[in-house]
């Protein structure tokens, strides 16, 4: 779902052949070709998130992918292990190299002990991979959860980080029970309710918050700031007062990530950028003797510096228990009867579930075998894994896009790659904890600053504006709302802003939660889906449920000629339904847009029927 997570799935549309376009009989057809089939610049955007090679090409229904899907589909279960163990072990090992530093960095940035992130990835690999509904996704902690988990630790702990950690574990358990029930009740379709631009804004705000907090760690400075805006405002002071040796480690790591994102050699890019950052950081840590606390002088003969004396030592390295089992912790349910506790529960459940659903759907676009995940089963499995994580001291997990796309690039075929990635993590953390202790915090902070930038880069603002100024407005309102309040309130503000735009477009309030549509089989194997009235995010769920019941391999024709207006979220969902349906051997197209006026030249822009 590209439009629901620009930062997660940049360039996926560029991998779709123009001949696979689904817009028929409208001026947007030519624009669709230019946007989706003939602009390769966006095709590599997803790979920039990973530091890996370009994402696998998804050919049209006329190309290789269709041939692959009909000639060979990897088996699942034990048969899949026997058939594909060579490719899945290799991919699992390469993903492990990416996951290790990211799990550590994400966990510490969330206010959790570093081992918590590794516990989560291990459970995601060894357990969730065996019961989920996806094929090549990697489950584990993700940067998008940093903000909500850190907020929970601070809100529940009231200044006591240790108590906040244990209270947050309890919140994770409760949120995960809800998450599991959502999957069992087939609530995976609920992701369609959230307007695309509000989700974009949430992700961009998360990126801004991650950068604001981790830049200080990368510079070796702890700012005296009590709020997010104070933390942002303290960045110039941290630049002035940075610890030079720590800043060298962090700055060089960031430069490596930037340089690796523009490297074109596929063989070279098989080496994960995060592991290069960590190795270089560890070498510099040895050179600067971070194992021993000491004072050093930096450029003492240059008077323009505010001071020349700095302290460095083990506090700038990862601290992890030497005994793996001693890293386990247990939840404290003391605050379960308070409103602040349940506020954190719903925030963790909402953000985790939404991100996981969007990521799993996005990874399906990368799967060269064109398999479609069972999102309800997937969210239930993630919920079960998260319950266990909360009970033993881990972070919540999601289907993680960066590691999943790297998994596909590395040739993974089944969920056993996820299993092996978790197994390698377990072996490494159990046998080599001293190696983990030598990783500088600044190197991990560099990874997170780079990830945050990808979530909130200027390109995301540009792409949202291309859809329409109204979408950019909702995007910006959501960002400001999240930064000024929190994730739940910020997203709610974005949803309200989207509603107001529909009111401005004169949407009939009787159509707000009810979409007029009919699904009729006009002839054998041909289904005509007629949509009337206002089609937008708040009333799309009923249509999505009916579409899920249609048989595979038929012909689906969407008729939007009687729709008074169609928003970007519905356009995006219909487009991706057509993509998925054709990937499974059917045919789908959208008709009746020739009488509608779009708000921009973007093929998925909101549109209203001409008077």
* Rounded Cα gap, residues 535 and 258, in angstroms: 41
* Rounded Cα gap, residues 447 and 425, in angstroms: 19
The sign of the CA dihedral 533, 539, 541, 546 is: negative
365: Cβ–Cβ under 8 A, 6 or more apart, which residues? 2, 9, 12, 15, 58, 579
CA atoms within 13 A on the CB side of 362: 30
Q: Please state which of the ranges 53-57, 140-144, 263-267, 349-353 shows the lowest mean pLDDT.
A: 53-57
Please identify which residue in the block is written with the tokens 């940067």.
Answer: 143
Chain center to CA of 563: 33
Task: Express each pLDDT in 76-117 by its tens digit.
Answer: 899 999 999 999 999 999 999 999 999 999 999 999 999 999
Please identify which residue in the block is written with the tokens 């998994």.
Answer: 407
Task: Express each pLDDT in 474-487 by its tens digit.
Answer: 999 999 999 998 88
> In this predicted structure, what is the pLDDT of residue 481?
94
The 8-class DSSP code of residue 23 comes to B
75: Cβ–Cβ under 8 A, 6 or more apart, which residues? 83, 84, 414
* Rounded Cα gap, residues 98 and 409, in angstroms: 13
Please identify which residue in the block is written with the tokens 């708000």.
Answer: 599
Read off the tokens for 488. 């739940």
> In this predicted structure, what is the pLDDT of residue 540?
87
Q: Which helix (H) or strand (E) holds 256?
A: helix 244-260
Position 364 confidence tier, pLDDT thresholds 50, 70, 90:
confident
Q: Which helix (H) or strand (E) holds 241?
A: none
> In this predicted structure, what is the pLDDT of residue 199?
87
Does residue 35 surpass a pLDDT of 70? no
> In this predicted structure, what is the pLDDT of residue 8?
38
Task: Express each pLDDT in 399-449 by its tens digit.
Answer: 988 899 889 988 999 999 999 999 999 999 999 999 999 999 999 999 999
Does residue 62 surpass a pLDDT of 60? no
> In this predicted structure, what is the pLDDT of residue 106?
96
* Rounded Cα gap, residues 29 and 380, in angstroms: 38
Q: Please return the burial class of 459, using the count of CB atoms within 10 Å of its CB with bins 0-12, 13-18 and 19+.
A: middle
Task: Express each pLDDT in 487-512 by its tens digit.
Answer: 889 999 999 998 888 777 666 666 66
> In this predicted structure, what is the pLDDT of residue 28?
36
Q: Are strands 555-566 and 526-535 parallel, antiparallel or unpaired?
A: parallel
| Highest-scoring range by mean pLDDT, 70-74, 128-132, 498-502 | 128-132
Does residue 34 surpass a pLDDT of 70? no
* Rounded Cα gap, residues 311 and 55, in angstroms: 43
> In this predicted structure, what is the pLDDT of residue 432?
92
Q: Please state which of the ranges 41-50, 161-170, 250-259, 362-371 shows the lowest mean pLDDT.
A: 41-50
Task: Express each pLDDT in 193-233 by its tens digit.
Answer: 788 889 889 989 999 999 999 999 999 999 988 889 999 99
DSSP lists the bridge partners of residue 23 as: 590
Q: What does the DSSP assignment read for 481-546?
A: HHHHS-HHHHHHHHHHHHHHHHHHTT--GGGSS--EEEEEEEETTEEEEEEEEEE-GGG-HHHHHH
* Rounded Cα gap, residues 246 and 311, in angstroms: 10
> In this predicted structure, what is the pLDDT of residue 510?
65
In 10 A of CB 45, how many CB atoms? 23
Does residue 48 surpass a pLDDT of 60? no
pTM of the predicted model as reported, rounded to 2 decimal places: 0.80
Read off the tokens for 334. 């003391």
């Amino acid at each position: 779902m590209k439009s629901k997570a620009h930062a997660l799935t940049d360039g996926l549309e560029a991998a779709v052949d123009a001949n696979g376009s689904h817009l028929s009989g409208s001026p947007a057809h030519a624009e669709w070709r230019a946007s989706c089939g003939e602009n390769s610049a966006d095709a590599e955007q997803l790979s920039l998130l990973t530091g890996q090679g370009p994402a696998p090409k998804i050919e049209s229904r006329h190309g290789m992918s269709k041939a692959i899907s009909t000639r060979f589909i990897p088996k699942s279960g034990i048969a899949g292990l026997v058939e594909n163990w060579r490719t899945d072990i290799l991919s699992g090992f390469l993903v492990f190299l990416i996951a290790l530093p990211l799990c550590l960095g994400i966990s510490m940035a969330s206010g959790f002990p570093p081992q918590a992130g590794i516990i989560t990835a291990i459970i995601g690999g060894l357990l969730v991979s065996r019961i989920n509904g996806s094929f090549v996704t990697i489950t584990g902690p993700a940067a998008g959860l940093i903000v909500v988990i850190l907020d929970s630790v601070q809100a529940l702990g009231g200044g006591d980080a240790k108590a906040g950690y244990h209270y947050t574990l309890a919140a994770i358990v409760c949120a995960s029970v809800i998450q599991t029930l959502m999957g069992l009740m087939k609530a995976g379709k609920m992701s369609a309710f959230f307007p695309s631009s509000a989700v974009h804004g949430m992700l961009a705000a998360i990126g801004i918050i991650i950068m604001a907090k981790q830049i200080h760690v990368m510079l070796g400075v702890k700012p005296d700031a009590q709020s997010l805006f104070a933390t942002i405002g303290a960045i110039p002071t941290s630049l002035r007062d940075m610890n030079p040796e720590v800043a060298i480690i962090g700055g060089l790591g960031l430069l490596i990530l930037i340089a690796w994102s523009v490297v074109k050699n596929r063989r070279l890019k098989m080496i994960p950028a995060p592991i290069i950052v960590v190795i270089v950081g560890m070498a510099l840590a040895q050179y600067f003797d971070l194992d021993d606390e000491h004072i050093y002088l930096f450029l003492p003969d240059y008077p323009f510096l505010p001071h020349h004396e700095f302290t460095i030592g083990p506090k700038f390295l990862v601290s992890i228990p030497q005994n793996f089992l001693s890293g386990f912790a247990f939840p404290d349910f003391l605050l379960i009867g308070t409103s602040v506790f349940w506020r954190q529960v719903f925030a963790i459940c909402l953000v985790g579930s939404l991100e996981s659903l969007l990521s799993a759907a996005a990874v399906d676009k990368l799967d060269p075998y064109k398999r479609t995940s069972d999102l309800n089963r997937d969210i239930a499995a993630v919920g079960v894994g998260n319950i266990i994580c909360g009970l033993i001291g881990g972070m919540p997990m999601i289907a993680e896009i960066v590691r999943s796309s790297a998994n596909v690039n590395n040739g993974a075929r089944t969920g056993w790659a996820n299993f092996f990635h978790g197994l390698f993590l377990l072996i490494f953390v159990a046998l080599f904890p001293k190696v983990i202790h030598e990783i500088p915090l600044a190197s991990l902070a560099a990874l997170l600053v780079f990830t945050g930038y990808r979530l909130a880069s200027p390109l995301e603002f540009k792409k949202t504006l291309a859809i329409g100024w109204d979408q950019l407005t909702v995007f910006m309102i959501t960002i400001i709302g999240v930064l000024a309040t929190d994730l739940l309130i910020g997203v709610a503000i974005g949803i309200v802003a989207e509603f107001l735009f529909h009111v401005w477009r004169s949407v009939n309030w009787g159509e707000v939660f009810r979409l007029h549509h009919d699904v009729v089989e006009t002839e054998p194997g041909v289904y005509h889906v007629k949509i009337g009235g206002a089609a937008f995010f708040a009333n799309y769920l009923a249509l999505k449920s009916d579409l899920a019941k249609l048989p595979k391999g038929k012909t689906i024709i969407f008729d939007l000629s009687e729709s008074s207006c169609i928003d970007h979220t519905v356009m995006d969902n219909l487009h991706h339904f057509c993509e998925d349906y054709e990937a499974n051997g059917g045919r789908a197209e959208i008709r009746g847009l020739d009488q509608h006026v779009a708000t921009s030249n973007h093929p998925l822009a909101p549109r209203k029927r001409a008077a």
